[in-house]
Amino acid sequence: MQQLYKHKLTNYTMRKFLALALFLTSATIFAQGTVTGKVIDSEMDGPLPGANIMVVGTNNGTVTDFDGNFTLEVEKNTGEIEISFVGYERKVIPFSVANGANEDLGRIVLSPDADALEEIVITSFSLAIDRKTPVAVSTIKAADIETKLGNQEFPEILKSTPGVYATKQGGGFGDSELRLRGFNSENIAVMINGVPVNDMESGQVYWSNWAGLSDVTRSMQVQRGLGASKVAVPSIGGTVNILTKTTDTEEGGNIFASTGNDGYMKFGATVSTGVLDNGIAATVSASKTTGDGYIDGTQFEGYSYFINIAKDFGDDHQLSFTAFGAPQTHGQRETLHLIETYRRSERGTKFNGDWGYLNGEVIHVQDNFYHKPQMSLNHYWNISDKTNLSTALYASFGTGGGGGYTGDADLRNIDSPYRSGYLQPLNLDLVVAENFANADLGSKTILYDSRNDHNWFGGLSTISTEVTEDLELMGGIDLRYYKGEHFQEVKNLLGGTYWLDDSDVNNPINVARVGDKINYYNDGIVLWEGGFAQAEYSKNDLSAFVSLAASNTSYKRIDYFNYLDSDPEQETDFVHFFGYSAKGGANYNIDNHHNVFANVGYFEKAPFFRDVFLNYENLVNEDAENQKIFSAELGYGFRSTNFRANVNVYRTLWQDRSFTRTRFDRESGQTFFANILGVDALHQGLEVDLSYRPFEKLTITAMASIGDWNWDSDVQDVYFYNDEQEILNPDSPIELLLKDVPVGGSAQHTYALGANYEVLPGTRLRLDFNYYDKLYADFDPNNVGEGYSPWEAPDYSVMDLGLTHDFEFGDFDATLIGNVNNLFDTEYISVVDDGINSNARTAQVWYGFGRTYTVGAKIKF
d(CA 661, CA 223): 34
Model pLDDT, residue 230: 65
Residue positions counted in the chain = 861
* CB-based burial label for 711 (10 Å; 0-12, 13-18, 19+): buried
Cα-Cα-Cα-Cα torsion 197, 203, 209, 212, nearest 10 degrees, comes to 60
Model pLDDT, residue 827: 98
* CB-based burial label for 508 (10 Å; 0-12, 13-18, 19+): exposed
Contact 320, 247 (CB under 8 A): yes
Q: What pLDDT digit, counting tens, does each position of 304-318 carry? A: 999 999 988 887 898
d(CA 140, CA 144): 7
Residues 6+ away with beta carbon under 8 Å from 791: 776, 777, 832, 834, 835, 838, 839, 840, 843
Contact 474, 123 (CB under 8 A): yes
Model pLDDT, residue 234: 60
Give pLDDT < 70 ranges for the chain: 1-31, 43-46, 59, 66, 86-87, 112-126, 230-234, 247-249
φ/ψ of residue 390, rounded to 5 = -120, 135
The beta-strand segments (E) located in 734-850 are 734-737, 747-760, 763-776, 792-793, 796-809, 812-821, 829-833, 844-847
CA angle 618, 619, 623 (to 5 degrees): 135
CATH 2.60.40.1120 placement within the chain: 31-116
CATH 2.40.170.20 placement within the chain: 252-656+679-712+741-860
Separation in Å, CA 499 to CA 281, 387, 448, 486, 509: 54, 63, 11, 19, 10
Q: What fold does the segment set 31-116 form as a domain?
A: Immunoglobulin-like (2.60.40)
φ/ψ of residue 385, rounded to 5 = -65, -20
What pTM was estimated for this model as a whole? 0.86
Among 845, 751, 838, which Cα is nearest to 791's? 838
Q: Does the domain spanning 252-656+679-712+741-860 belong to CATH 1.10.10.60?
A: no
Model pLDDT, residue 174: 94
Contact 750, 164 (CB under 8 A): yes
Residues 6+ away with beta carbon under 8 Å from 270: 245, 253, 254, 283, 284, 285
Among 563, 488, 568, which Cα is nearest to 521's? 488
Question: End-to-end distance of the chain based on CA atoms, in angstroms?
Answer: 48
Contact 447, 494 (CB under 8 A): yes
Number of helices (H) and strands (E), helices first, in the chain? 5, 56
Count CB-CB contacts under 10 A for residue 390: 27
